[in-house]
Amino acid sequence: KTKIGVLALQGSFAEHCAHVRRCGGEPVEVRKAEQLVGCSGLIIPGGESTTMANICRRWNLFEPLRDFAASGGAVWGTCAGLIFLADRIGRGAKQGGQELLGGLDVTVDRNFFGSQARSITTPTSMRCAVPDADDGSDTPFRAIFIRAPAILSAGPGVEVLAEYALPEEKRAELRGTDAEDVEKIIVAVKQGGNLLATSFHPEVTSDVRWHKLFLEMSSAAKAYAGVGEDAVRKA
Ligand code: GLN
C-alpha to C-alpha distance for 82 and 66, rounded to whole angstroms: 14
Establish whether 203 is a catalytic residue. yes
Q: Which of 201, 211, 216, 229 is catalytic?
A: 201
Count other C-beta atoms under 10 Å from residue 167's C-beta.
11
Question: Who lines ligand 1 at CB under 6 A?
Answer: 46-49, 79-80, 83, 110-111, 116, 146-147, 149
Q: Which of 16, 23, 203, 211 is catalytic?
A: 203
Segments in 107-220 forming alpha helices (H): 168-174, 209-220
Q: What average pLDDT score do residues 31-42 get? A: 97
- Between strands 3-7 and 140-144, the pairing is unpaired
Q: Residue 93: what pLDDT?
A: 46
C-alpha to C-alpha distance for 1 and 3, rounded to whole angstroms: 6
Contacts 24+ apart (CB under 8 A), 54-63: 55/9, 55/10, 56/9, 56/99, 56/101, 57/99, 59/9, 59/31, 59/32, 60/33, 61/9, 61/32, 61/33, 62/99, 62/101, 63/33, 63/227
Phi and psi dihedrals of 167, rounded to 5?
Answer: -70, 160
Ligand 1 mean position to 50 CA, how many Å?
9
For residue 95, how far is the Cα from the chain centroid? 18
Q: Residue 18: what pLDDT?
A: 97
The total number of structural domains in the chain stands at 1
Range of the domain at 90: 3-234
Ligand 1 mean position to 68 CA, how many Å?
23
Residue 76 in contact with residue 47, Cβ under 8 Å? no
CATH number, domain at 18? Answer: 3.40.50.880
ipTM here: 0.92
Ligand 1 mean position to 201 CA, how many Å?
11
The structure's pTM equals 0.88
Establish whether 17 is a catalytic residue. no
Q: Nearest CA to 40 among 25, 53, 54? A: 25
Q: Residue 118: what pLDDT?
A: 44
C-alpha to C-alpha distance for 66 and 212, rounded to whole angstroms: 24
Q: Residue 134: what pLDDT?
A: 55
Pocket test for ligand 1, best of 10, 83, 98, 187 (most atoms within 8 A of CB): 83
Side-chain half-sphere CA neighbours of 198 within 13 A: 27
Ligand 1 mean position to 114 CA, how many Å?
10
Establish whether 79 is a catalytic residue. yes
Ligand 1 atom nearest 79 alpha carbon: 8
Which range, 8-22, 114-128, 147-161, has the best average confidence (pLDDT)? 8-22
Assess whether pLDDT exceeds 60 at residue 192: yes
